[in-house]
Structures are given as structure tokens and as C-alpha cells.
Structure 1
Amino acid sequence: MGRLARCASLWAAAAVLGAQAPDGPDALLERIQRKMAQNLNRLPDYVCLQTVERSRRQSPAGSYQPLDTLRVEVGLVGNRELYSWPDSSGFEDKELAEMIGRGVVGTGHFALLAKHVFLSRVAEFTWKGEDLLNGRAAVRFDYQVPRNLSSYRIRVPPNEAVVGFHGSVWVAPDTLDLVRLEVRSNEIPEPLGMAEAVSIMDYARAPIGNSDFLLPQASELRLVTLSGEENRNRGEFTGCRQYRSESSLSFDEPSAQTGKPPGAPTLPPGSEIELSLDQEIDPEAAALGDSVRAVLARPLRQGQQVIAPEGAAVLGRVVRVEKQVLPFPHYIVALQFHTLDLGASQSRFLATMEDAGPAPGLIRQKKRLDPTFTRRRSARMDILVNEQQPGQGVIHWDARQQRIRRGLKMRWRVDPGR
């Protein structure tokens, strides 16, 4: 029955192709490229929420182990892919990798790779015939872009290189809409330490403004190292909307104190801020980019003057979530607070956490050295030392305690010169 259904689907695709492409694959390809160009050229500036699940496996035979989840706003604005945190008032004036700070990230999935393949006219296409994709009839073309015509760049700091790439496109035979774009590169310069890079983007129509457009719905990035380790990012795009001219296209730094509205206080560099977490944080479910709220645990003073009362809201975000299994299961959660919200005014700042707690589950510092061997126990050395990152607060949390509780006390210091 499955074979009969597959044959029927392929026959349906062939029938549509016969009606649409009397001049053969070349004419079909021309129509596909023309339709894709119309879609890409008509796209207004728009923004989506991108959620990415990052995982890793040590070899092709192993299973992927989850690392963390990332949530960012991604926008196509003026033919540029721009990124911001979901709670930010403007796009970051920095690369996504610099913004995230650690782990594998990929860009170009939003629009730029599709524009490179379909608009640059440097890809050489080869007809591959009818195919099935996720159980639906599709037509497939393979393509290749040589290195000398490519602008596809792979960066593994401190090295980067422009690489050639190849792949496939799958198109719905009835509408000629792009369904999937696959991009592969396996001729990567050795200094990058990568054997292969694979990006897959799935497309569907979605409303933007008063019209509908072909937009990426999901993406997957796989990077395979020369040693066989494989990193995988699986993402989805949701909540897509038009980026209107009245939107704020500012490039905000968390440390910026310029442009404050009248009455907004300036947090003196070096001043101490005592905060109380105003919500629970579940490290198992938290994602990079999630909003976090705290309140001032005591008034903030400049000299004898109170510039912010106890209970004033302080806004921030999660910037790191890692689960560790040694020396025992625990989470590393990093927070970044950036805005003092007084209701009528807001002040931006950058601060570094100096201490937290006490609280059940908070690991402040642990050192254990026990070199004794017995028949039942091997020698063990546990070392867990809290780290301090400028502009962040790094919390080590015992996984057995699950949630970081509301009310956690934290002591921060405003960074000098901020």
C-alpha cells in the first residue's frame, strides 16, 4: 500500500509538471527562480522570534545530548539580518556569536542564504526529478556554488574562510513554492577544524502586513568537526510581523546610559546594588534570552540622596544555562541585569554580581580532596569554584533543588565607567 501511495504521489507530481513545464526542466527552473525572486524582492522588513535548541554528540554513532535553548528576535531590515534579545528595545550592533558569547550559532537562515542561491545567479542547477518530502510530492533540483563565486563564510574564531557550497532545493509542483533549501559545505579549510557544515531551512507561507509571503518556518544547522564531534542547532521561527518605520531601530548596548529621559537617575560607577529575585527560575526550562525581574532589596543611594526606593523593579535576562554532571548534577545559570525601572523613567546600566545567597541549592564554593583508595571507593577530587563574569551574575545551582526560588538575595556592583 505504501509503495502504491508513493507511486500515486509521484504520478501526481509528474502530471502537474507535464501541464506546467512543456519545455522541460530548464523552463520549470526559470519559473521557480522568477517566483522566488518576486517573493524575496517583495519581502518587507520583518521580525520573528527564533527559538533554537542546541545539542551535541561525540560521534555519528552517539546520541545527541541537549545543551541549552536560545531565544532571540531576528529581523530582516534593509537587506541585513539583525538580532536582539526578546526584551530589548532595539537591535544589537554586534554579530549574533558575539551577542550570545558561547556555543555554536548560525546566521543566514532567515533570508540571506536563500537570496544567495536564488538571486545572485551564481548557482548552477541540475534537474533531479520528482521526489517525496515529508510524504508530499515535490520536485528537486541540486545546485552548486564554487568558492570563487561564494559569499558563504564559516567562522571558527580566530579563523574564518569563504567556502563553496552545494545542496538541493525542493519545490511544491502545484504552486512552485520553495519547500526546503539545503546548503552543504565539505571543502572547508583545515585551520577551521570542520569537516562539514549543513544547513536546512523549511519554508511555508505566512502573513506579513496585508499580504502573505514565503518565509522560513524551521531550520537546522549541523557542524561536524574533524574529530567527528557534531553540534546541532534546531530552530523555529514564530510570531513573524512587519517591522514598521515607527519601530525603534536603535543599537542598544546593555551598558548605555546615554539618551536617558529627564529625571532618570544615573547609577554611580562602583555603587553597590542589593537585589532580590522577583520570580522563580526553572533551569530545566529556561532559555537564553528569557526575561528576568528582580527588585531592590534596599534603597539605592548616591551619597545621602535616595535615587531609587526599595522595591523598585530591575529588569534583566538569562544569558547562560548549562547542566553539569560533575562533580555532581548542577546548573550554571548566568543573569544579566540592565535596566532600573522607576515607572516614569528607566536607567540602563551594567553590573557584575559579587555574591548571592545564602539559599538552599545555591553552591557558593566547594573544594574536596580525598585521595584515599579502598576496595569499594576510588580516589576522588571535587573542585567547584564559583566564577565571575564581567556584566553578569553566575549562579551554580544544585539540580536536586530544581527551581531557583523567588527571593534569592544578590549583591551586584555597577561596572566602572558604565
Structure 2
Amino acid sequence: MNCKNKRTLFATLACVVGLICLQSAAAQSAAPLTSKELVTLVYQLPKHPELRDELVADIRKRGISFPLTDGMRSLVATKSGNDSLLRRTLEEAERRRVNPTVSTLPPEAEANELLERARAATLAAADAMPDFIVKQLIKRSRAYGNTNNWQPQDNLTIAVAYRANAGEQYKVLAVNGVPRAQETTQKRDYSKDVDPGTTSSGVEYISAVADVFKTQSDTKFKLVDTDLIQGRHTLVFEYEVSRDLSQLTLRAGEAEPAVVGSRGRIWIDRELNRVLRFEQIATEVPPDYPIRAASTLIDYEWIAISENKFLLPTHSEILLTNVGRGVTVQSRNEIRFRGYQKFGAELKVIDEIDEKDFPPEKPEKP
């Protein structure tokens, strides 16, 4: 065999070996994650938190090959800082492992049909909101720097009167369980009636979700996962709205309001076509604005008012990061909505904020 033929043979063998290696690597990357692989990846998170998104994408793509034990849940929570996105992705991967039919992503066309039904249902609901009153139980806390080392600030009890043609009116009922004077009036902004800190804006009820679905927002949606919310099977979509088309506005003290972009996720009930959970994260925030980061997470449930049921918020969490005079301060509002009633009823301080209204502290990344 001459040198030329030998070189050709070696080149052919090298190509074959390379192809086999590539096929083996591809097969391995497509196979479900093993517990050993997951543990290896999770141990990298404390030093490299930016790897979380890659890990989430890998779990969604490959799934898991092992039962998700309490020990594994605890390890993931510890190494990820109790990251909610990673936790929910793992739980759904476990449901998909046990019952692939229920938790399999639908074809793109089917997902888009659900998205359009949810758009129509949400915009219709926004135009048919009932007039109601509700009590907000707000637990405010703050942390310095970017530590997430939350320290209690205060507990507020706020009466909210909502009318479709007038928006929200707020009245401070109590601070730290101490009732406020009866002459306290309702107003659109109660921030001056309490110590400085984050206050509610009213977007929780439906307006923020509706804005995302409006055609003028030109929202970009992407199906990413399935999930179980309140026992309901949902599809999870990521979304993004550019700043120039956004309705999201940040307000910080005496500073001028700033319009920002947004991104986040929505969880849509596969049968009822409604959003059961909504996440909104501010993007394109002006670099010199006092608020540097802002996010909201809202859970919705069906509430009966005057013998009719409406999808209304029952819990929300607002996170803000402010910078002033060189000091970074994080603030968190955890809000429980209690006692929805038909508009016109009188809200009284019946049960002030109790620890049963707020679960034990479990620091969780949005």
C-alpha cells in the first residue's frame, strides 16, 4: 500500500471515529439527566449563579432519569439559594418522568392557540371587572446591599376599594396591628400615611397582565415548560416587551416616573385559558434612575363576589432595589389579599396581620 492510500485510509478512519464520538456525545446530551450529573451541576451554582439558566434549559430539554427525593430537593435548594425557577422546573421534570402524557409540551400550533384564547379571555375580563373591596395584609422588609438578608420593616393592613370606572382607593387601617384613626381618608396613594418604603400600585388586579396581552405591546412569547399551579395543569410562557412599547412605569419618590421594558413568565390554565400566575421583571431601566431593579410575582385564584366568580389576586410579592447616596437598599413587600366583598361593604380591622397569614421566612430568588 503506497503512502497516498495509507493517508486516505487513516483520514477515513479518523472521520469514522470522529462521527462515532459525535453521535455518542449527542446521544448522551439527549438522554435524561442522571442524579450524578445534576449534583455535579448544582454544586457549581454557589460560585457561578449565572449557570442557573443553562441548568434550567438542560432539565427542560432532557428531563431527569431518577426519582426526585427530598434529599435531592434539599441539596438543590441549599446550593441554589432556594431558587424558585430551578425548583419548579425540577418538580415539573419529576411529574413528566412519572406521567409523560400529562406534562409533555404540546405542538407549537396548539400552544399558540391557547395563548390566543388566554389573550381574548384576559382582555375581556379586564373590561368586565367587578366593583369590590378587599383587605391587603402587607409584610414589608428590607435588606442592605444585595445581600437578600431581609430584616422586618413593618406590617400594614390596607383597605382597597376598587371600581372599574375609577380605579383603586386605599385607606390605611392599621400599622403593626395598631388601628389608625377613623378619620383617615381613602386616597389613590397611601405612601405618605406610612413610613417610607415600597407601596402597592394596583397593577396586581388585572391591568399588568392585560397590558402584556394588548396588541400594541407587540409582546414576544415563547413556550418553555409545563407546570402545576393550584392543582391545575398550565403552560408556562416566557415573554418580553420592549421599552418603547411598554406600559410599565417605575416611580421613585420625587424623581420623574420612568417607563421601562419588561420580561417574565405567565402560567396559563390549559383548560380555562386564564393566567394563574404572573411574573414581571423590569428591563431597560435608566442607569441613573434611583430604582435599579424591580420585579413582581402574582398568584390568582377564583373568588366569589355577589354569587359570581372572578379571577383575582390572592398573593403577590414585590421586590425593588434602590440606590441613593451610594447606598443600595433592597425592599420586599409580601401581600396577602383577604376578604373580597362587594363594593359598598365596610372594611373593619377584624384580624390584624398574624404569622399564619405569612409563612415562615424562606428566602427565595425570583
Shift of 1:45: 1.0
Matching of residue 243 in structure 1 with residue 343 in structure 2: yes
Which residue identity is paired with 2:281? R
Matching of residue 116 in structure 1 with residue 116 in structure 2: no
Matched residue, 2:330: 230
Greater helix proportion: 2
For residues 152-210 of structure 1, the C-alpha deviation after alignment (integer angstroms, 9 at most, x for no partner) is 22111211212222221111223223111111113222343222100111111110112
Would you say the 8 A contact 1:25–1:127 is kept in 2?
no
Q: Give the one of 194, 208, 215 matched to 1:100.
A: 194
Matched residue, 1:139: 235
Would you say the 8 A contact 1:142–1:167 is kept in 2?
yes
For residues 69-103 of structure 1, the C-alpha deviation after alignment (integer angstroms, 9 at most, x for no partner) is 11111232125122123476896234232343522
Q: Give the one of 165, 169, 174 matched to 2:266.
A: 169
Which residue identity is paired with 1:70? L
CA distance in 2, matches of 1:72, 1:170: 28
Corresponding residue SS for 2:247: coil
1:145-184 map, 5 Å: 145-159=241-255, 160-184=257-281
Would you say the 8 A contact 1:76–1:110 is kept in 2?
no
Larger RCO (CA under 8 A, 6+ residues apart): 2
How large is the Cα RMSD of the aligned pairs?
3.1
Shift of 1:39: 2.5
Give 5+ residue unaligned stretches, structure 2: 1-66, 69-92, 174-179, 347-351, 356-366
Shift of 1:10: 5.8
Q: Give the one of 174, 195, 220 matched to 1:125.
A: 220
Shift of 1:30: 0.6
For residues 324-358 of structure 1, the C-alpha deviation after alignment (integer angstroms, 9 at most, x for no partner) is xxxxxxxxxxxxxxxxxxxxxxxxxxxxxxxxxxx
CA distance in 1, matches of 2:214, 2:239: 13
Which residue identity is paired with 2:243? R
1:140-289 map, 5 Å: 140-159=236-255, 160-226=257-323, 228-244=328-344
Shift of 1:14: 3.6
Name the % identity: 22
Cα distance change on mapping 1:242 and 1:115 into 2, 3 Å? farther
Cα distance change on mapping 1:192 and 1:47 into 2, 3 Å? same
Cα distance change on mapping 1:225 and 1:10 into 2, 3 Å? farther
Matched residue, 2:26: none
Matched residue, 1:67: 153
Cα distance change on mapping 1:33 and 1:12 into 2, 3 Å? same
Greater strand proportion: 1
For residues 1-46 of structure 1, the C-alpha deviation after alignment (integer angstroms, 9 at most, x for no partner) is 336534346631448x57xx8x433222111111222322222111
Matched residue, 2:112: 26
CA distance in 2, matches of 1:112, 1:89: 30
Matched residue, 2:362: none
Shift of 1:134: 5.8
CA distance in 1, matches of 2:120, 2:304: 21
Corresponding residue SS for 2:210: helix
Q: Give the one of 69, 75, 81 matched to 2:168.
A: 81
Corresponding residue SS for 1:114: helix
Which residue identity is paired with 2:265? S
Would you say the 8 A contact 1:126–1:143 is kept in 2?
yes
CA distance in 2, matches of 1:217, 1:33: 21
Would you say the 8 A contact 1:199–1:219 is kept in 2?
yes
CA distance in 1, matches of 2:185, 2:307: 24
CA distance in 1, matches of 2:245, 2:122: 20
For residues 126-172 of structure 1, the C-alpha deviation after alignment (integer angstroms, 9 at most, x for no partner) is 22233335696421122222222223221112112122222211112
Would you say the 8 A contact 1:58–1:230 is kept in 2?
yes
Corresponding residue SS for 1:139: strand
Shift of 1:60: 3.8
Corresponding residue SS for 1:29: helix
CA distance in 2, matches of 1:89, 1:210: 32
- Using structure 1 for the length normalisation, give the TM-score: 0.52
Cα distance change on mapping 1:8 and 1:64 into 2, 3 Å? same
Matching of residue 53 in structure 1 with residue 150 in structure 2: no
Shift of 1:243: 1.1
CA distance in 2, matches of 1:173, 1:128: 13
CA distance in 2, matches of 1:9, 1:84: 48
CA distance in 2, matches of 1:215, 1:119: 19
Aligned pairs, number: 246
1:301-320 map, 5 Å: none
CA distance in 2, matches of 1:9, 1:71: 43
Larger Rg: 1 or 2? 1
Corresponding residue SS for 1:63: coil
Cα distance change on mapping 1:90 and 1:155 into 2, 3 Å? same
Corresponding residue SS for 1:234: strand
Corresponding residue SS for 2:217: coil
